[in-house]
Amino acid sequence: MYEPKIIGFLCNWCSYRGADTAGMARMKYPPNVKIIRVPCSGRISPELVLRTFREGADGVMVLGCHIGDCHYSTGNHRTAKRMPVLKRLLEYSGIDSDRLAINWVSAAEGEKFATVIKEFTEQISAMPPFAETMKMEETK
Amino acid sequence: MSDRLTSLREAIQQVFPQVDGVLGIRRGPGGIISPYLFHSEHPEELEALAIWPKEPLPDVLRKIQKAHPEAKLAIVCRGCEERGVVEMMKHSQLNWDNLTLIGLQCTKEEAEFCRCAKPYTVHAKIVVGEPIEGVPDPVTEKVAAMSREEKQEFWKEQFLHCIKCYGCRTICPQCFCNICTLEDEKFVETGRLPMPNPSMYHLIRAMHMTAKCVACRECEETCPADIPMAVHFRLIARDVQEMFSYETGAILEQKPPQLLVLEEGEYERTGLPH
């Protein structure tokens, strides 16, 4: 079995703190997810997700605050609007939309963070590597 | 066809006293079609008025309005161009109050050429021609029915021909941003043909056309490689309809999803966890 490369975009105010909570509680979760901290999940434009796939990631996670809890009041509404559309677009282009996951994790939900990461890693592990499915000749 | 041309000429003549100019297309010397601003001082120029093939008039209108914000203008628009004008107005690119729309209804042949679902105008007060029903879009249906692997192969094959001329971006009536992501080297690699797979250029463009594409098919028409990129936009338009109940260019007062803050519970329709 191969080790999937997963990039997780975590919002600074909820999900990143949630990851901290999971760490402080010493919860176990797979190490495949490389975390990138962003000010808000609304920062993650579809271009960034596409580029991440283009660079050879097997899966991308976008984690943000629950709707209504956003530090910037409506930042995660943007995520809630654009990510489902991006998922459909991936599907229409022949890319499995399950490779992109969106979820809401608050600062207190360390346990949920560990579960979300674990489930997503298992899901991606079951799929062939992204570069292989796309027959990408070379990645930078 | 000639009938419609005559009645369009008459309609323009009627509008002339109320406006500073009427934007339409004309057949210039050598039979070349180009956008043209007709003026009441030169009614004889209307002899050269043409209706087909269509030109991206809303974009020209935007540029004229930008230079002359106070000018009262009329525009000859088909269903798609009207939707383009409405969307531009919603994104603050046009001054709606200074505009008069002259609606031109498409014929069956024209609608079939564009695979258009709505070849008629809805907001225009002055209307030329008889509105007809929309026609089905066989190409979009074909792609929608494909399996994931087939889709991947199909797009890979199509995007292989892309020479990255940026023609589809330039001609699009909805691509009016001052700074374009497609020119950003972080996202679209320069100096590489054919484009790497998956094609960042086309996927980013498809994403940016969400709830904006007015299905005018100018992009496909201008494409030197005949890439059916409007298929992406049309498939997404269906999802936008389903998720946000938003139909591009249909209702003047409805805010586009980009500018919308979703109400409590509303985002659940997009299928996200909560």
**Which residue ranges form the domains of chain B, and what is each CATH number?**
2-128 (3.40.50), 138-270 (no CATH)
**Would the pLDDT of B122 be above 50?**
yes
Closest residue to A92, CB basis, from B187, B196, B232: B232
Compute the average pLDDT of residues B197-208.
90
DSSP structural state of residue A51:
H
CA B214, B216, B222, B225 dihedral sign is positive
Residue A20 in this model has a pLDDT that exceeds 90: yes
- Res B134 pLDDT > 90: no
- A124 assigned to some structural domain: yes
Cα separations in angstroms, B130 against A48, B3, B4, B57, B186: 46, 11, 9, 21, 48
| Chain A CB within 8 Å of residue B270 CB | yes
Residues in A closer than 8 angstroms to B192, CB to CB, are none
Q: What pLDDT, on a 0 to 100 scale, did the predictor assign at position B154?
A: 92
Identify all chain A residues contacting B244, using CB atoms and an 8 Å cutoff.
Answer: 81
A10 inside domain: yes
| Under 8 Å between Cβ of B90 and B255 | yes
For A39-65, the pLDDT digits (tens) are: 999 999 999 999 999 888 999 999 999
| Residue A139 maps to a domain | no
Q: Which residues of A touch B239 (CB under 8 A)?
A: 84-85, 88
Residue B245, by phi and psi: left (phi above 0), alpha (psi -120 to 50) or beta? left
Q: Establish if A77 belongs to a structural domain.
A: yes
Indicate the SS3 state at residue B74: strand
Please answer whether residues A117 and A30 qualify as being in contact, where contact means their C-beta atoms are separated by less than 8 angstroms: yes
CB contact at 8 A, B124 and B101: yes
Provide the 10 A C-beta neighbour count for residue A67. Answer: 20
Point out the residue among B148, B181, B257 whose CB comes nearest to the CB of A94.
B148
Whether A103 and B181 lie within 8 Å, measured CB to CB: no
In this structure, what are the phi and psi dihedrals at residue B62, rounded to the nearest 5 degrees? -60, -40
From CA A18, how far away is CA A65, in angstroms rounded? 10
Do residues B79 and B118 lie in contact, with contact meaning Cβ atoms separated by under 8 Å?
yes
Provide the domain limits for residue A85: 6-134
pLDDT of residue B199: 86
Residue A140 lies in a domain: no
Query: Is A45 inside a domain boundary?
Result: yes
| Nearest-neighbour CA in chain B from A124: distance (Å) | 17
Task: Tell me whether the omega of the peptide bond preceding residue A39 falls within 30 degrees of 0, making it cis.
Answer: no
- Kindly report the nearest CA distance between residue A131 and chain B, in angstroms: 10
Task: Please state the rounded mean pLDDT for residues B103-122.
Answer: 90
* Closest-CA distance of chain A to residue B198, Å: 7
Using alpha carbons only, what angle is made at residue B173 by residues B7 and A51, rounded to the nearest 5 degrees? 160
The pLDDT confidence band at residue A96, using thresholds 50, 70 and 90, is very high
Q: Which residue from A minimizes the CA distance to B189?
A: A51
Domain harbouring A49, CATH code: 3.40.50
The domain tally of chain A equals 1
Q: Is the peptide bond before B194 cis (omega within 30 degrees of 0)?
A: yes
Assigned domain for A56 exists: yes
Among A3-12, B93-102, B250-259, the minimum mean pLDDT is found in B250-259
Kindly compute the dihedral angle of the four CA atoms of residues B101, B237, B202, B166, in this order, to the nearest 10 degrees.
0
Q: How many CB atoms lie within 10 A of CB B33?
A: 15
The pLDDT of residue A140 is 43
* Average pLDDT over all residues of chain B: 88
